[in-house]
Amino acid sequence: MAPQLAWIGLGNMGRGMVKNIVSKANLDKPLIIYNRTGKRSQDFKASLENPDSVQVVESIEEAVKAADIIFTSLGDDKSVNSVLDTALQVSGGVTGKLFVDTSTILPETSDAVAQKMRSGGAEFVAAPIFGAPLMADLGKLIVVLAGPSAAVDRILPYCEGVTARATIDLRDQSPGKATLLKITGNTAILSMTNSLINANWQVETVAEGHVFAEKSGLGSEALHKFFEAMFPGPYAAYSTRMMTGDYMRDEPLFAVDLARKDVGHGINLAAKVGVDMQVLKVLDGHLKDLKEETGPKADLPAIYGIIRKQSGLPYSNQ
């Protein structure tokens, strides 16, 4: 018998995920849905090809009490804390229930609510997601899972092939690791808005990301999984070169002087039309420091070593 699912929070992402679960997952009973604004729940139910695949309830308590696995998709840390605090007050308790939060919240919030739920007899998995609302609607998200292995296994049937095109599995790591990766990934995505124009910027983004991952405790392996899932191709390739130490190769694939030449062209062309390319200037500074550190045969991805040094780590990661 399939578990009874409940979903709390029907924003742009939540609606798409629920739609895919009820149409693709192996459910044997309607998925329970709750939203703070009741009309949104009713409107969403009416929009489904099979409206009977969901059951609208009028309170968090009602949703939690009837469910085995409760998903939350909420706007911020305060909302997550509020909903889960309410859940802990449900008559009969939450022992044996599994709570899965897909929201983007701080790592410390994820770890704190996980501890609260465990103290109440429940289990908790952080499951933040990468993707726009259209990707949620198409079931093409990337989901990160962190929590106890047995609990993660219970969530997998609702991920790849249902709500997601890929899963980054951080089982048996703290839930906060998943949300740390989510925030780190979001930062990289924002940086890549410009990086898509110039390959040099890709390297800066990947290098800074890896140094942050190491210093923050997220770990380079987790960030590399993100690059592989979200940006296969140059980003993942540069990530591999940095992780394996290939950035310190004797014969450069893209020598530092050539990289500075390209970056200089970009800065100058932008200046002519009144644009101050701050990201390129940061990159140029790292390239200048790289040449001073290792000489003209330094390879472009070796700015990773420079960023490591500036952050208090050795130039080499080997």
Instruction: Report, as residue numbers or ranges, the catalytic residues.
Output: 182
Give the C-alpha separation, 19 to 138, whole Å.
9
Q: How far apart are CA 206 and CA 202, in angstroms?
A: 6
Residue 1 tokens read as 């018998």
Q: Helical H runs in the chain?
A: 12-24, 38-47, 60-66, 77-88, 107-119, 133-138, 149-155, 175-195, 199-216, 220-230, 234-244, 256-272, 278-294, 303-310
Residue with token string 């995920």 = 17
Residues in the chain: 318
Candidates 104, 22, 91, 30; CA nearest to 60 is 91
Cα 280 off chain centre by: 26
Cβ neighbours of 282 (radius 10 Å): 15
| Strand-by-strand arrangement of the 5-8 sheet | 54-56, 31-34, 5-8, 69-72, 98-101, 123-126
**Smallest Cα–Cα separation from 22: which of 189, 123, 158?**
158
User: 132: helix, coil or strand?
Assistant: coil
